[in-house]
Amino acid sequence: MSDQPLEAPWLRRATIDLGAYRANLRHLQEVVAPAELMAIVKADAYGHGAVPIAHAAAEAGVEWLGVLELANAHELRAAGVSLNLFAWQYAPTETFERAVSERIDLGISTLAQLDAVATAVTSVARAAAPDAGEGTPVDLPGLVHLSLDTGLHRDGATSDEWEAIVTRAVELASRGILRLRGVYSHLAEASDEEDTDAAVALTEAVGRAAELGARFERRHLTASSAGMERPELRLDMVRMGSNTYGIPVTDGVSAADRGLVPVMTLSARVARVKRIAAGTGVSYDYTWRAPQETTVALVPIGYADGIPRASQLGVGDVGAVGAVGASVALGGKRYPIVGRVAMDQFLIDVGDDAVAVGDEVTLFGTGAGGELTVGEWADLIGTIGEELCCDIGARVPRVYVP
């Protein structure tokens, strides 16, 4: 009898390989050097779990994390993460006292945001030293990165707004209220020519800001795609999310091509096995019927867990045009998803192969066991790997491999 403890029962799980994540980060740091690497951990680290991922990033030597929202930053600070945290999306009435106190870097694209940060700095300073006189230097200036819209048309100041924002930022910085930690934008990645135009726009805006007295500590523009393919646009820092999780964003390029390893492996266990006759329809709407007698196995994970309904085989009315459906791996062999993907489960056609309840099914992973990678799955159904990982629901436990 083995002395090993029995594994707890499970139906579905996402295994997160922190070693692979750290290796990806170290590799990407070498690729983008001498630029710094900012690892993006928004959306709960693309579904991988922000807190363990952030600690792994620190172990890999990364100094910057992009978190998007302040709630994400506060969670990481509470979990003991001391890296530079960069947030850039806020509620319209956001106050920044806690962000100032916790030394969170703030992306700023409006005068209202800039003034709200200044107000927060003053409030924090008064709370710390209520008897200090007017003009007393503050201990915790706001850490800001001014954002310019260079064509993506999401956040970012417009060209017409830029001078007023820079002028106000310079004035506040001269009083020690702010520290100009950075200036940044984001590429649309629609074409090389348009990305080049965006880079030129940012360079010109930084030049105009310098004439107004602004001195930024770092410039950042590129993310996972352009950060790999346009080295001349890396500037002082590159913000990467997808690549760090082993999800390359360039068409026709695999993780292995980039020297990366997919970090998430999604698995489930066979819950039922049934033999069915030729012509038998399965799951809702009978969108697939067995072409011959066969065996189907029930896999207990569905669209409530983030598996798109478009993943099934041979249905023209769902998914991208020409989609052929996804397959899963079992015992080193791939089997197609057949019939509608339901909320909690789907079926696979295993033919005449011997399959038993409890057998492990791998939906996507590194590809080493014959399974699809998340990028390959996404390509088959007309989406992107980031969406699949982000959609994996809370009902799927994350299991961390150090």
Q: Which residues are catalytic?
A: 42, 284
Q: Which candidate, 256, 257, 183, places its Cα nearest to that of 221?
A: 183
Residue 258: CB partners within 8 Å, gap ≥ 6? 228, 243, 248
